[in-house]
A and B are shown apart, each in its own frame.
Chain A
């Protein structure tokens, strides 16, 4: 595609297939994701976007139905070869489509991952909590009630709490799965600004249903359709119409179906 890439590959995917029982959710997927880029994944429902994210942080370990085949390297090592899959998951922050405030205080929601990673002492945890909540554009709204239950925040606030929690893992890779479904447009914009900042420190995999969100944020974008990769390209180029597959052009222009 492009002349010699020298950046570190955070993800190297080769001929990956994912199935649930007899049903194939993804097949023949090959792609690379580089350090410090925002990699957008777009595609209609049922295209296998979420399944791909689940395969990366080895959620198949909890789902006896789910089967992953092929090669999927994270930081140069096959994810299936990680001897401690919990340590793998601690490197990868995930934000789910629907907000999940854990049934503990706002403070503990954010401190949870930090504690898992071995951060000790109130001062250190306070610092993590404030930094992550600030980045997730939530600090001002909750700083006076850090002790109240995370599950009692509004949907949009819980989603930002989830983002703060993912950031508190200090992940190498941050995966966002349609994070803005339950968030208002103004807050979405604020979070998008945060993501642009964050990419200096980490790699971001952004699954989105909003084509414009990919346009605004992603350096490169991939289109998934019915469990296959259709096309990967530089976002700017794709949106300028330099697509190799007509289906990509149609999808980007909203003429699909």
Chain B
């Protein structure tokens, strides 16, 4: 056989790069699958711990309709309404704070800042996102508490307003990052075309860029909401942790997450109280799952366009 004409069997050899490729594929698969397995595992665990309660002590109307969360009374009741409203009201205030801050910052970074300023700001925002939540809780407990008492002349400063502001400041950096990504993804030729027509900066942002980035901006907000529902430590420290349906921002409330964190250590494993806390956990899991799913579907919407 001449050297130049190779038989098909000689051409078709598995070489090192073929094996490396297969190996990487397998590793990626294992990595991806294990993430999914962990999530399913967590859900199964929470459900398993809460399931007995859901079938025995659980009353749908009590859980969602009563504000009496009295797990330790001699005749215990498990009404989660006040906790749900507490979490929702804190998250609501947080979004009022975080949406203007994060959108404003994202627009500034993406559309106005250039060069050094832009890079510095991006790094700063990422640093802010890395501040541990207990530090934010501490700021709420000490600085914000006194500030609210001083400024609004109210007896306690640990309330919906305090927790909402703290949570809003916490959520803003990650929302800024996502919103900025969405704005950055709008191609420059759209900006140039609108500039050439004589649109002002603000007209371009309002009428061209924000509509084009709408889905990304919405998903930034939804992720912020998800963060608000799930945050525990800062809310525990800043909200006052009192079971209460708030009628003003100066009322203390208690959050779902904070309740679980504060009480789980004191309950006997397998007790009714223990099961009830896991029922709260299942509820939270479902809510955050829905919010994240919504955010994901919205983001998918962008890609389709």
The chain A residues found within 8 Å of chain B, CB to CB, are 57, 59, 62, 64, 86-94, 96, 98, 100, 102-104, 112-113, 116-117, 149, 151, 162, 165-166, 169
Contact = CB atoms under 8 A, between A and B. Distances in A.
A24 to B, nearest CB: 22
Nearest to A109: B193
Contact of A102 (B114, B194, B198): B194
Contacts, number: 64
Given A86-B199, A92-B196, A103-B186, 16 more contacts: A57-B196, A59-B195, A87-B198, A89-B195, A90-B198, A93-B197, A96-B192, A100-B193, A103-B190, A103-B211, A103-B212, A103-B305, A112-B199, A113-B198, A116-B199, A162-B193
Nearest to B196: A94
Q: Which 9 A-B pairs have the closest CB atoms?
A: A90-B198, A89-B198, A100-B193, A94-B196, A103-B212, A86-B198, A113-B197, A100-B189, A86-B200
Contact of A169 (B190, B197, B200, B212): B197
Contacts of B198: 86-91, 113, 116-117, 169
Contacts of A165: 193, 197
Interface residues on B, range: 10 to 19
Contacts of B34: none
Given A64-B114, A100-B189, A102-B208, A59 B196 contact: yes
A174 to B, nearest CB: 12
Nearest to B197: A113
A79 B150 CA distance: 55
A112 B207 contact: yes
Nearest to B114: A64
Contacts of B193: 96, 100, 102, 162, 165
B203 interface: yes
A138 B190 CA distance: 21
A108 to B, nearest CB: 8
A87 B196 CA distance: 11
A104 B211 contact: yes
B291 to A, nearest CB: 26
Interface in B267-305: 305
A57 to B, nearest CB: 6
In the complex, which of the residues B189, B193, B198, B305 has the most CB atoms of chain A within 10 Å of its own CB atom? Answer: B198
Contacts of B207: 104, 112
Contacts of A151: 305
Contacts of A98: 189
A106 to B, nearest CB: 15
A107 to B, nearest CB: 14
Contacts of A64: 114
B195 A112 contact: no
A92 B198 CA distance: 8
29 contacts: A59-B192, A59-B195, A59-B196, A64-B114, A86-B198, A86-B199, A86-B200, A87-B198, A89-B197, A92-B196, A96-B192, A96-B193, A98-B189, A100-B189, A100-B193, A102-B190, A102-B193, A102-B194, A102-B208, A103-B190, A104-B207, A112-B194, A112-B199, A113-B197, A116-B199, A149-B305, A151-B305, A165-B193, A166-B197
Interface in B166-222: 186, 189-190, 192-200, 203, 207-208, 211-212
A165 B193 CA distance: 10
Nearest to B193: A100
Q: Chain A CB within 10 Å — which of B114, B192, B305 has the most?
A: B192
Nearest to A117: B198
B208 A104 contact: yes
Contacts of B208: 102-104
Nearest to B115: A64
A104 B213 CA distance: 12
Contacts of B211: 103-104
Nearest to A87: B198
Contact of B196 (A89, A103, A104, A149): A89
